[in-house]
């Protein structure tokens, strides 16, 4: 009796795995994405401004949005907290970039203003990427640029003006000189600071 029960269970199992192993039919699986679905993925904005959508914002408009959606992690003035990096810095911090403890902020390091837009639009607030509308992202970009002393509080940031914003470290990126990397002395570096 027990044996036949086991046998019956075995037959059931065998039948189940045999049906799993059958090649499934792929008809009606997948479809052409809609225009809206492609647009939702195609969000990259480049340094020339290509890809930036219509919309606009000022630092003044960005301040209250920043306070409610960003300050908890990046600090009320963009100074950073243990939950989010420091965002605000300026030309005056750029000298640290060639030291062993560079102060990497948007103002002191980022070469393109459009990347701020792209990054916020794509990824912020953390774990809620894509939740902000274009005007909010423009306003937040303006807010950070203004806090870094790069634009004025009332300057309107949009697809036309943003690519024209000159970032302080725009020319700070040189092609890597691999041959120099292992030999800081040869490159004239002293106490971790390189010319």
Number of residues that bind ligand HEC (CB under 6 A): 18
Nearer to ligand HEC, 130 or 188 (CB): 130
Q: Which residue in the set 52, 59, 88, 124 belongs to the binding site for ligand HEC (CB under 6 A)?
A: 124
Window 3-22: contact mask with ligand HEC (x via CB under 6 A): --------------------
Q: How far is the CB of 141 from ligand HEC (least distance, A)?
A: 8
Q: Which residue in the set 125, 129, 149, 163 belongs to the binding site for ligand HEC (CB under 6 A)?
A: 125
Residues 138 and 39: their CA atoms lie apart, in Å, by 19
Q: Does 147 bind ligand HEC (CB under 6 A)?
A: no
Q: How far is the CB of 43 from ligand HEC (least distance, A)?
A: 15
Binders of ligand HEC among residues 19 to 38 (CB under 6 A) are: none
Nearer to ligand HEC, 129 or 180 (CB): 129
Residues 29 and 75: their CA atoms lie apart, in Å, by 47
Residues 6 and 95: their CA atoms lie apart, in Å, by 77
CB neighbours of residue 158 within 10 Å: 18
63 contacts: CB under 8 Å, gap ≥ 6: 143
15 contacts: CB under 8 Å, gap ≥ 6: none
Q: Does 77 bind ligand HEC (CB under 6 A)?
A: no
CB neighbours of residue 187 within 10 Å: 13
Q: How far is the CB of 33 from ligand HEC (least distance, A)?
A: 28
Q: Which residue in the set 12, 43, 83, 92 belongs to the binding site for ligand HEC (CB under 6 A)?
A: 83
Q: Which residue in the set 47, 53, 73, 91 belongs to the binding site for ligand HEC (CB under 6 A)?
A: 73
- Token readout for 191 is 């106490």
Contact in structure between 96 and 31 (CB atoms under 8 Å): no
Q: Does 142 bind ligand HEC (CB under 6 A)?
A: no
Write 98-105 long-range contacts (CB < 8 A, 24+): 98/189, 98/193, 98/194, 98/195, 99/192, 99/193, 100/192, 105/148
Residues 129 and 131: their CA atoms lie apart, in Å, by 6
Nearer to ligand HEC, 122 or 187 (CB): 122
Binding residues vs ligand HEC (CB under 6 A): 69-70, 72-74, 83-85, 87, 104, 106, 116, 119-120, 124-126, 140
């Amino acid at each position: 009796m027990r044996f036949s029960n086991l046998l019956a269970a075995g037959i059931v199992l065998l039948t189940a795995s045999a049906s799993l192993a059958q090649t499934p039919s792929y008809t009606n699986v997948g479809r052409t994405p809609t225009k809206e679905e492609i647009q939702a993925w195609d969000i990259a904005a480049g340094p020339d401004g290509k890809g930036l959508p219509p919309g606009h914002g000022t630092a003044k408009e960005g301040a209250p949005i920043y306070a409610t959606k960003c300050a908890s992690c990046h600090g009320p003035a963009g100074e950073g907290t243990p939950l989010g990096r420091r965002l605000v810095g300026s030309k005056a911090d750029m000298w640290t970039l060639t030291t062993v403890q560079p102060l990497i902020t948007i103002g002191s390091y980022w070469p393109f203003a459009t990347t701020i837009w792209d990054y916020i639009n794509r990824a912020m607030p953390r774990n809620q990427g894509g939740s902000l509308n274009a005007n909010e992202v423009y306003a937040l970009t303006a807010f950070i640029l203004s806090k870094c002393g790069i634009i004025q509080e009332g300057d309107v940031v949009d697809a036309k003006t943003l690519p024209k914003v000159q970032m302080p470290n725009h020319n700070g990126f040189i092609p890597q000189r691999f041959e120099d990397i292992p030999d800081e002395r040869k490159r004239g570096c002293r106490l971790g600071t390189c010319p």
